[in-house]
Amino acid sequence: MRLVLLGAPGAGKGTLAKQLSKALGVVHISTGDIFREEVAAGTELGKKAKSYMDRGALVPDEVVIGMVKQRLSRPDVNAGFILDGFPRTVPQAEALDKVLEESNQPLDAVLDIVVPEETVVRRLSGRRVCRQCGAIYHIDNMPTKQEGVCDKCGGEVYQRDDDQPEAIRQRLKVYAEATAPLTDYYRTKGLLRPVDGTGTPEEVLGTALALLKG
């Protein structure tokens, strides 16, 4: 199965992608996670990306597209994939279409996680992430058993730099301007499946799986 997850920052793309990846046995490709790994490793790509990410701006299309093309050329995507955080602009979506057309691997569906703005702001403000394994928590909805320590791997749990109020506001603005138009792009192609993202993670997973079966 080849899927794209759309949705505002904090809608729950990463949370759902991790669950779907397990349920469907396909790889989860998050451009945000790849950039954060590059930042942690101190690479040139990481340094470049960090300057955009910290202020809630998008990394330039040519940088992201090149990186995703490389990732999609690896053999583990042959069994399917879930793209989380890509595409985020119409030029990125067009570039993805071209790559998938060339490899004869069309998308099966685009899940658009729909959540009201006040909910995403609450989710982002309370989010915590494991530095080591990337597990996602929330101080109220999904707290770790021990404060600051990942339940899964014992790694350090931290707050992302772009989860500060000013960066959150900017990310929501960029989403509305650059990414929201992708819903029309994929609706026209008959691929768009809106998913109510307001329930618990298990409920959202159930809705998504039911949509994919139907």
Give the residues lining the site for ligand AP5 (CB under 6 A).
7, 9-15, 31-32, 35, 52-53, 56-59, 64, 85-86, 88, 92, 123-124, 127, 136-138, 141-142, 162, 171, 197, 200-201, 204
Least gap, CB of 88 to ligand AP5 (angstroms):
4
Which one is catalytic: 13, 36, 50, 123?
A: 13
**Annotated catalytic residue 2:** no
**Nearest residue to 28 via CA among 121, 122, 147, 133:** 133
Dihedral angle sign, alpha carbons of residues 164, 144, 19, 45: positive
Q: In this structure, how many other beta carbons lie within 10 angstroms of the beta carbon of residue 94?
A: 13
**Annotated catalytic residue 171:** yes
Give the nearest residue (CB) to ligand AP5.
32
Which two three-digit tokens encode residue 94?
Answer: 């067009």
CA pair distance 21, 111, nearest whole angstrom: 14
Which one is catalytic: 18, 50, 123, 171?
A: 171
Q: 176-198: b or e for each residue (b if 16 or more CB lie within 10 Å)?
A: eebbeebbebbeeeebbbbbebe
**Annotated catalytic residue 88:** yes
**What angle do helix axes 61-72 and 31-41 make, rounded to 10 degrees?**
100
**Annotated catalytic residue 145:** no
Stated length of the chain: 214
Least gap, CB of 173 to ligand AP5 (angstroms):
11
Q: 28-63: b or e for each residue (b if 16 or more CB lie within 10 Å)?
A: bbbbbbbbbebbeeeeebbebbbebbeebbbbebee
**What angle do helix axes 90-102 and 61-72 make, rounded to 10 degrees?**
30
Least gap, CB of 104 to ligand AP5 (angstroms):
23
Which one is catalytic: 18, 36, 88, 128?
A: 88
Least gap, CB of 84 to ligand AP5 (angstroms):
6
**Annotated catalytic residue 127:** yes
Nearer to ligand AP5, 24 or 49 (CB): 49
Least gap, CB of 28 to ligand AP5 (angstroms):
11
Nearer to ligand AP5, 3 or 7 (CB): 7
Nearer to ligand AP5, 20 or 24 (CB): 20
Nearer to ligand AP5, 109 or 111 (CB): 111
Nearer to ligand AP5, 78 or 141 (CB): 141
* Catalytic positions, written as ranges: 13, 88, 127, 160, 171
